[in-house]
């Protein structure tokens, strides 16, 4: 993408309404625009990151054996009357009446609708296990929408729902989600710690939240700091292997890690003092096992092997897709701007032409741009007629992990400069070597 033809409305001034760094940088980098309290347009740069995050979520869900579908944002109130949540949900639910006087709502979550789909089409244990998920906009009329996309009213969620014949199978689905989430967050450059939590309006007695540690997080967290060193890494997971998956979950949930909702001072006191930490965290996901809460109320049953008919065992599992942009920025930035992890960056690399209009510099930039594209890498090429300082400031603000700087002086020696946004380290090399270096960094992405 050539910056001269792109739509990147960066702001020079700090927006007064933004209280936390991620909100400030998302506005300044021209990623989002607020349209009403907690409701945002996703401008091209923000939209690219959002799509990247969705892609990773999809890949890891499919890897775990879960099946994508798409349910609507608007739902009939009658489904929610069946579960009893139409009245329970309260003011957070946006209620709408259509021209025929039918009660509708903008979905805050989809347990009822997916249970309705299930009961319409599945009636035998032979069709289980089944996990369906979608990535869809939700609406919750939060009392205090704030911090930009972090606590929105309209926000994008990945929500998945498992259907299983018995409790053991449903607990395996729970564990499978936990492991697939760990991998999802790691690919985004995040350490998200599963913490025992409270289930709130979704229900059930087994639930974990995934928290990214950050000063600006909305939840108070209590943990043994050794959990922050746990990594899933490149281990080969067989998602059908119940023991292997359960072992990974055990590894990640044995050390003390709880939110204020479930915190137990007596148990916490047993953590060695040097490892006992109290901090704040951003909730980027939550998984629930709630058994037959919805299936019983809505008549979603299956015939088991022995011929009896039982309500299907369920759980639901959510990732805050749009919130993740804020969480990643909170975890990865400096005083100049965002530092995108390679996994989610909107563009893999930026090209800065120090002297637009100089024949050699223009030709070298064009050459780099095309060579990168031939490797499947879409660079953001700053071809504007601007001062070098302004170009660097824009690149630093929008946070592409790598920058190639091209100028007449370097070219006279046959070199361009490759700079890491994270470390600030630069290295001179030939344009061909620069392309090879960037291609190698993103190989396998």
What is the binding site for ligand P5A (CB under 6 A)?
109, 140, 142, 151-152, 155, 157, 159, 202, 283-286, 288, 316-318, 320, 322-323
**Inter-residue contact 21 to 328 (CB < 8 Å):** no
Cβ 112 to ligand P5A shortest distance, Å: 11
User: Which residue lies nearer to ligand P5A by CB, 298 or 435?
Assistant: 298
Closest C-alpha among 383, 254, 418, 397 to residue 337: 397
User: Which residue lies nearer to ligand P5A by CB, 137 or 268?
Assistant: 137
CA torsion, ordered 371, 375, 379, 383, to nearest 10 deg: 10
Cβ 240 to ligand P5A shortest distance, Å: 23
User: Which residue lies nearer to ligand P5A by CB, 323 or 421?
Assistant: 323
List, in order, residues 6 or more apart from 261 with CB less than 8 Å away.
Answer: 197, 198
When CB distances to ligand P5A are compared, the closest residue is 320
User: Which residue lies nearer to ligand P5A by CB, 85 or 151?
Assistant: 151
List, in order, residues 6 or more apart from 73 with CB less than 8 Å away.
Answer: 106, 107, 136, 137, 138, 139
Cβ 28 to ligand P5A shortest distance, Å: 20
**Inter-residue contact 241 to 208 (CB < 8 Å):** no
Q: What is the DSSP letter of 362?
A: H
User: Which residue lies nearer to ligand P5A by CB, 5 or 144?
Assistant: 144
Cβ 197 to ligand P5A shortest distance, Å: 9
**Partners of residue 351 on adjacent β-strands:** 381, 404
User: Which residue lies nearer to ligand P5A by CB, 48 or 317?
Assistant: 317
- Residue ranges in 14-106 assigned as alpha helix (H): 21-28, 44-63, 77-83, 85-88
Closest C-alpha among 81, 133, 78, 82 to residue 110: 133
Q: What is the DSSP letter of 127?
A: G
Euclidean distance between CA atoms 299 and 281, whole angstroms: 38
Q: What is the DSSP letter of 269?
A: T
Q: Cα 32 from chain centroid?
A: 16
**Partners of residue 402 on adjacent β-strands:** 420
Cβ 385 to ligand P5A shortest distance, Å: 40
Cβ 222 to ligand P5A shortest distance, Å: 18
Cβ 43 to ligand P5A shortest distance, Å: 18
User: Which residue lies nearer to ligand P5A by CB, 315 or 348?
Assistant: 315
């Amino acid at each position: 993408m050539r910056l001269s033809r792109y739509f990147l409305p960066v702001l020079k001034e700090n927006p007064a309404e933004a209280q936390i760094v991620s909100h400030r940088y998302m506005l300044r980098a021209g990623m989002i625009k607020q349209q009403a309290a907690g409701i945002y347009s996703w401008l091209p740069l923000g939209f690219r990151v959002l799509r990247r995050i969705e892609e990773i979520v999809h890949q890891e869900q499919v890897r775990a054996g879960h099946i994508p579908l798409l349910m609507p944002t608007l739902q009939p109130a009658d489904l929610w009357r069946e579960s009893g949540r139409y009245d329970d949900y309260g003011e957070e639910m946006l209620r709408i009446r259509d021209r025929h006087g039918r009660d509708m709502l903008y979905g805050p979550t989809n347990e009822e609708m997916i249970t309705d789909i299930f009961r319409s089409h599945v009636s035998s244990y032979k069709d289980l296990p089944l996990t369906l998920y979608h990535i869809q906009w939700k609406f919750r009329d939060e009392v205090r929408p704030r911090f930009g996309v972090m606590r929105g009213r309209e926000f994008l969620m990945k929500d998945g729902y498992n259907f299983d014949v018995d409790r053991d199978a449903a607990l395996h689905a729970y564990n499978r989600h936990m492991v697939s989430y760990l991998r999802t967050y790691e690919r985004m450059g995040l350490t998200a710690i599963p913490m025992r939590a409270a289930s709130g309006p979704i229900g059930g007695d087994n639930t974990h939240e995934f928290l990214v540690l950050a000063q600006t997080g909305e939840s108070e967290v209590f943990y043994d700091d050794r959990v922050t060193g746990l990594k899933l890494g490149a281990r080969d997971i067989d998602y059908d292997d119940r023991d292997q998956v359960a072992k990974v979950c055990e590894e990640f949930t044995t050390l003390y890690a709880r939110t204020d909702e479930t915190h137990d001072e007596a148990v916490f006191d047993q953590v060695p003092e040097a490892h006992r930490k109290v901090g704040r965290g951003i909730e980027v996901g939550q998984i629930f096992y709630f058994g037959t809460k919805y299936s019983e109320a809505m008549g979603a049953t299956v015939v088991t092997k022995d011929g009896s008919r039982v309500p299907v065992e369920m759980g639901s599992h959510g990732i805050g897709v749009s919130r993740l942009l804020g969480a990643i920025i909170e975890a990865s930035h400096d005083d100049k701007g965002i530092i995108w992890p390679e996994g989610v960056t909107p563009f893999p690399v930026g090209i800065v032409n120090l002297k637009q209009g100089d024949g050699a510099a223009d030709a070298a930039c064009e050459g780099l741009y095309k060579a990168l594209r031939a490797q499947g890498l879409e660079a953001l090429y700053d071809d504007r007629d601007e001062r070098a300082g302004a170009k660097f400031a824009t690149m630093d603000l929008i946070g592409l992990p790598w920058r190639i700087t091209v100028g007449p002086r370097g070219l006279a020696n046959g070199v361009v400069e490759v700079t890491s946004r994270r470390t600030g380290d630069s290295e001179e090399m030939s344009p061909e070597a620069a392309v090879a270096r960037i291609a190698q960094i993103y190989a396998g992405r």
